[in-house]
Amino acid sequence: MKKIITVVGARPQFIKAATLSRQFQLLGIEEIIIHTGQHFDVNMSDVFFEEMEIPKLAYRLDIHGLTHGAMTGRMLEGIESILLKEKPDGVMVFGDTNSTLAGALAASKLHIPVIHVEAGLRSFNMEMPEEINRILTDRISNLLFCPTNAAVNNLLREGFETMPVKIIKNGDVMQDAAMYYAEKAEKKSDIIKQIALPKFVLATIHRQENTDSPKNLKNIIAGLNEINLQIPVVVPIHPRTRNILSQMNIVPEFKLIDPVGYFDMIMLLKSCELVITDSGGVQKEAFFFGKHCITLREQTEWVELVENGFNILVGSDVEKLQNAFRILNLKTSDFAIDLYGKGQAAEGAAREISLF
């Protein structure tokens, strides 16, 4: 029986990992999950793991709240000791966090094959810590699961076809998750009843390039305030960002709500008219649920959404935000196009891992 160690450290990674866990169980693959503790999330209680049907965690490292170097170093040390004990056939990591890089480094230095899910993504912005993490992780991985053609092409341009690795375009496991949990969300979430708005725009703001920049944050809030005059805007907001707004005397005129869990987020995405976000994951989830998206960033890893007219990049420019809203608020699009595997990504990846 194959033994795979999965390294995760943030809520989105658990949701992605759960799609593979279900397939591993069907194929008889033993999985051991390490939670680094990178992101403390109040929505990640024991109930979260039960509702999301995530297997029991084998190890919790509880490493968070440190600098990038300290966090990655302590994770590397903790994961290495577990790998030496467990002697797995492979280590699976997701995306681009410090946990991802630490897991890949620990495995690579012990000559354990590294499986990278969401390989090949590039923003081409080396000021983003995530960009550094994903590039380094790809370079030391052995099995690279790419969600899109663009991701595959990025790796080919970087010379990966000459390396002893296997590159597979398998689709995006987040679409698997969105489809799997959508029905459960209908039963478990009452968020739409709570906000009591027949129509609304859903917005999220969390990236440091926006929240920690007074200019960017003021522009974004001003832009959302203007949109709110036409259609109500709802923003689930982290307490830290709420405090920053208060300290800067920035007054949102739209509806702020507390951070929401995954089921509530699904219902907000399903029910809104349009999405405005600086999140990479939310850009895709907007597409999964048939909604256009305005992205508060200068670049995106999900270039196919922009190329196909589902997404417009505006950065923190108020005028660009208003123009994008005018365009997408009236636009109709065919969201049936297959960009991310239509919910079959995890099944294909698990099958490849079983044969690797």
The 3-state secondary structure of 1-21 reads: CCEEEEEECCHHHHHHHHHHH
Same domain, 168 and 27: yes
The one catalytic residue among 39, 64, 206, 238: 206
Same domain, 42 and 150: yes
Per-residue pLDDT of the chain (356 residues; tens, 9 = 90+): 799 999 999 989 999 999 999 999 999 999 999 999 998 766 666 778 888 899 999 999 999 989 999 999 999 999 999 999 999 999 999 999 999 999 999 999 999 999 999 999 999 999 889 999 999 999 999 999 999 999 999 999 999 999 999 999 999 999 999 999 999 999 999 999 999 999 999 999 998 899 999 999 999 999 999 999 999 999 999 888 999 999 999 999 999 999 999 999 999 999 999 999 999 999 999 999 999 999 999 999 999 999 999 999 999 999 999 999 999 999 999 999 999 999 999 999 999 999 99
Same domain, 209 and 252: yes
Same domain, 32 and 118: yes
Q: Is residue 49 part of a domain?
A: yes
CATH (domain of 291): 3.40.50.2000
Q: What is the pLDDT of residue 46?
A: 75
Query: How far is CA 218 from each of CA 194, 244, 258, rounded to the nearest angstrom?
Result: 28, 11, 20
Q: Is residue 336 part of a domain?
A: no
Which stretch of DSSP H or E encloses residue 75? helix 68-86
User: What is the number of domains present in the chain?
Assistant: 2
Q: Is 68 a catalytic residue?
A: no
The answer, as to whether pTM is greater than 0.85, is yes
CA proximity to 224, closest of 248, 205, 198, 247: 205
Same domain, 347 and 251: no
Residue 280's domain comprises 181-330
Q: What is the pLDDT of residue 45?
A: 67
CB 135 within 8 A of CB 164: no
Same domain, 209 and 145: no
